[in-house]
Structure 1
Amino acid sequence: MFKLTLMPQNLEVHLPANSSLTELEFELHGQESISFGCRSGACGACVIEVMSGAEALGARAPCERNFLASLGFDGEQFRLACQCRLAGNAVVSAVAAPR
């Protein structure tokens, strides 16, 4: 099990290795966390900023990188949560709206 910490709420969730971050909806039972829309990397509802543990979320595919850049999130610290699989401990923060 790995720990994912959601900021600024400081919520800690433990998920099995290789879990999709979309599992947060079930683990947190409706608590405020990350908004998920399409779950396929096409809507941008689940943009997160990785505070630490980027290597634990897997590599960004070129299509994810390009889509995030089109939304104004071109830094390496931004990810689409629906495209991440947890392979270690990480700390992330949901991003409210595209810049």
Structure 2
Amino acid sequence: MELKKLTLLPQGVEILLPAGSPLTDIEYETPRRHIPFGCRSGACGACVVEVVEGAAGLGEPDPEELDFLEDLGKAGGTYRLACQCRLKDSATIRVAAD
């Protein structure tokens, strides 16, 4: 099983997950909740993150995710809904501030 590294900023926490894992799986890897997850279906916006490095490693966003990010004022390609991402390669994300 190939592991990929997800780095969370500003905490600097590094988490190894199997390739293809949804980012929601980080809840099972650390005792602390680093990313707030709400609905887990891309409808609440609680898990917005800024992709600092490795955007391609999180998979392509679908049109619904992009539309919702635009509604949240987070359009432009550097933001994602963590609940909609799968870690295909190593990436660095920052929990988005309101």
When the two structures are superposed, what TM-score results if normalisation uses the length of structure 2? Answer: 0.95
Match of 2:13 in 1: 11
Q: CA deviation at 1:82?
A: 0.2
Q: How many residues of Structure 1 are paired with residues of Structure 2 in the alignment?
A: 96
Q: CA RMSD in A?
A: 0.7
Measured after TM superposition, the shift of residue 96 of structure 1 is: 2.7
Stretches of 4+ aligned residues off by more than 6 angstroms: none
Structure 1 equivalent of residue 29 of structure 2: 27
Distance in 2, matches of 1:32 and 1:51, equals 20
Structure 1 residue ranges without an equivalent (≥5): none
Structure 2 residue runs of 5 or longer lacking an equivalent are: none
Identity %: 53
1:68 matched to which residue of 2?
69
Counterpart CA distance in 1 for 2:30 and 2:37 is 13
TM-score, normalization by structure 1: 0.94
Q: Distance in 2 between matches of 1:25 and 1:60?
A: 22
